[in-house]
Amino acid sequence: MSEQIKKFMYLNRRAPYGTIYAWESLEVVLIGAAFDQDVSLAFLDDGVYQLVKGQDTAEVDMKNFSPTYQALGDYDVTKLFVEKESLEERGLTLDDLMPLTYEDEDDDWAEKDSIKVVSRAELADIMEEQDVMFSF
């Protein structure tokens, strides 16, 4: 009996530091990916700050876990959706975000971008396609 692969989306809505939501989301994503589920992440609202490059956590006395996002491609987590309007409302662009990539084994191991900037409407459509969603 073969098990059906489910689509799991993790919604990241909160800033990366000050609470443990962002870190917990990342841990749950890695666990889900280890069980061969179809995993994607969405970053919206203050969650877009989780992907900003050059984070320095010295003044907030918390471990900087942002380098862990670089490992997502190794776990076949290659679909990171960033809501365009959330970026714009915070004065951010794609250039402000970490360059996250993966190697596409179906395309002769070509390096491809994991982050896709989508509109609010596009993200709503993507969310409709999911079997399970978790909000952090």
Structural domain boundaries in the chain? 7-135
pLDDT band per the 50, 70, 90 thresholds, residue 127: very high
The answer for 131, left when phi > 0, alpha when psi is -120 to 50, beta otherwise, is alpha
Per-residue pLDDT of 57-110, as tens digits, reads 878 778 888 889 999 999 999 999 999 999 999 999 999 999 999 999 889 999
pLDDT reading at 51 higher than 60: yes
List the one residue out of 79, 90, 91, 74 whose CA is nearest residue 117.
79
**What CATH fold (topology level) applies to the domain 7-135?**
Hypothetical Protein Ychn; Chain: A, (3.40.1260)
The mean pLDDT value for 19-25 works out to: 91
DSSP 75-103: GT--EEEEEHHHHHHTT--GGGB---EEE
